[in-house]
Amino acid sequence: MKNYLEKIFNRAPLKIKYLILKMYKYINFEKSNVLKEYLDKKVILMRCLENKLKINPNKEKQEILNVLKNKFDGVGIPYYWTNKYKKENIKIQHDSKSKYNFVMHQNKPLYFPLNMSNQEIKILYNSLLIEQDENSPHLYLTPDFTLQKGEFKEENDIILDVGAAEGIFTLSNIDLIKKAYLFECDEDWIEPLKLTFKPYKEKVEIVNRYVSDTTSDKTITLDDFYNQIDKEEINFIKVDIEGAEFDLLKGAKKLLKNSKNLKLAICTYHEQEDAEIFENFLIEKGYSCEFSKGYMAVFCGEFKYPYLRKGLIRAKKKINDLKSDLLTKKSRTFFKYLIYSS
C-alpha cells in the first residue's frame, strides 16, 4: 500500500502536492492516509452526483461531474472555464535587494515567501486568479457588491482583510480604500506583506494575530480590535481563515450590531455546514445575505452529504435597519432641540 500511495502522490499534479505539503510538513504514507482519504472522498462525491443526475438532470452539476472524472487538480473550483488560466504564462521576478520573488499583479509587485519555489508561486498565483474570476464561487466582489469609492479619499472604505495571506485582495483594491487592516498569523507571509505594501504604508497596517472569539497574547476578537481603533467606522470585512470563520463572527457581535454601513464576504467552504450556520447567524444580526454562484468541491473538514459546498456568503446591513438608525438619530436630535428650546 505504501508504494501504491507513493506512486499516486508522485504522479499527482503539483497543486495537489502543494496543498498536501502545506498541511503536512512531510508525508509518511505508513502513518498518514491523507492522500487515500482525498481519493476516497472524490469517488464518493462523483457517485453522489451520478445518482442525483439520474433522477434530476442538471447542466451545471453534470459539468462538475465531468471535470471530476477527467482532470481535477484539487484547486476546489470544478469548472472547465478554469482551463483558460495557464501557470506557464506567469512571470516570476526577483528583487535583488530584499532577495524575495514577486509577480506583477495589476502593475503592482506581489511578493511571496522565501521558502516557495518559482513553480509553487506560479501554481499559487494561478489559483488566486481563478478564485477571483467573474464566474468563480470564491469571488468576493461583484458589480452589485462592491467597495465604495467616495468623492474624496477620506470617504473611501475602511476594510479588514482577515486571513490576508499574500494580500492580493487588498492589493487589488488598494486605490479604492481609505485604510486596510491585514490580519495574518502565518509568519512566512509577514515579510512579503511588508514588501508588497511598502508603497502604501500610510493606508495599510499588518496585524500579526489570529482573529477568534477570545482575546489573548496571540488572538484577538474583532470587537476588541474595534475598540482599539476607537470604534473607527469599518465598511468591509473579507474573511478566509481556514475554518475559523464562525469563531470570528462570535467575537464580532458588537461590531456587527453597531456598524451602520458594513459589508462582509466570508468563505463558507471549509466546513460542510458553514453556509447554513453563517447565513442564520447574520440574518439574526440584521444582515441580508446572498451566496456566490456555483459550487466548490473541497475535501477538507467533515465530509458530509451533499458534499458540494457554496464558496462564500456576502452580507450587508439591511436597508430597513439603516433607515431605523437614521430615524432614531433624527428623533434624538429633534428631542434635544425641544429640550434646549423650551
- pLDDT at position 332 over 60: no
Amino acid in position 113? P
289 and 178 both lie in a single domain:
yes
Residue 84 lies in a domain: no
Q: Omega into 306 within 30° of 0, i.e. cis? A: yes
153 and 53 both lie in a single domain:
no
Percentage of the chain lying above the pLDDT 90 cut:
71
63 and 190 both lie in a single domain:
no
Q: Which of 24, 53, 72 is the last residue of a domain?
A: 72
Q: Which of 72, 89, 114 is the last residue of a domain?
A: 72
Tally of structural domains, the chain: 2
24 and 141 both lie in a single domain:
no
Q: What pTM did the predictor assign?
A: 0.83
172 and 307 both lie in a single domain:
yes
**Each residue of 223-279: pLDDT tens digit?**
999 999 988 899 999 999 989 999 999 999 999 999 989 999 999 999 999 999 999
Query: Who's near 113: CB < 8 A, 6+ residues apart?
Result: 100, 188, 189, 191, 192
Rounded-to-integer distance, Cα 161 and Cα 240, Å: 9
Domain interval for residue 36: 2-72
165 and 267 both lie in a single domain:
yes
47 and 147 both lie in a single domain:
no
Per-residue pLDDT band at 338 (split at 50, 70, 90): very low
Rounded-to-integer distance, Cα 34 and Cα 5, Å: 10
251 and 149 both lie in a single domain:
yes
**Each residue of 148-171: pLDDT tens digit?**
876 556 678 999 999 999 999 999
**Each residue of 88-122: pLDDT tens digit?**
999 999 999 999 999 999 999 999 999 999 999 99
Residue 114 lies in a domain: no
Selection from 7-11, 17-21, 125-129 with the highest mean pLDDT: 125-129
Q: Which of 31, 55, 72 is the last residue of a domain?
A: 72
Residue 292 lies in a domain: yes
154 and 294 both lie in a single domain:
yes
- In sequence order, the β-bridge partners of residue 108 are 105
163 and 266 both lie in a single domain:
yes
Residue 150 lies in a domain: yes
Q: What is the mean pLDDT of the chain?
A: 86
* Extended beta strands in the chain, E state: 93-94, 101-105, 108-111, 157-162, 177-183, 204-207, 210-211, 219-220, 236-239, 263-267, 287-291, 312-317
192 and 319 both lie in a single domain:
yes
Phi, psi of 192 (to 5 degrees): -55, -40
- In sequence order, the β-bridge partners of residue 289 are 315
Residue 182 lies in a domain: yes
Residue 319 lies in a domain: yes
169 and 303 both lie in a single domain:
yes
Place of cell 469609492: 149
Rounded-to-integer distance, Cα 267 and Cα 278, Å: 10
**Among residues 204, 162, 159, which one has the least CA distance to residue 185?**
162
The DSSP annotation for 119-180 comes to HHHHHHHHHHHHHTSTT-TT---BTTB-PPPPSSGGGSEEEEEET-TT-HHHHHTGGGEEEE
CATH number of 228's domain: 3.40.50.150
Query: Who's near 69: CB < 8 A, 6+ residues apart?
Result: 46
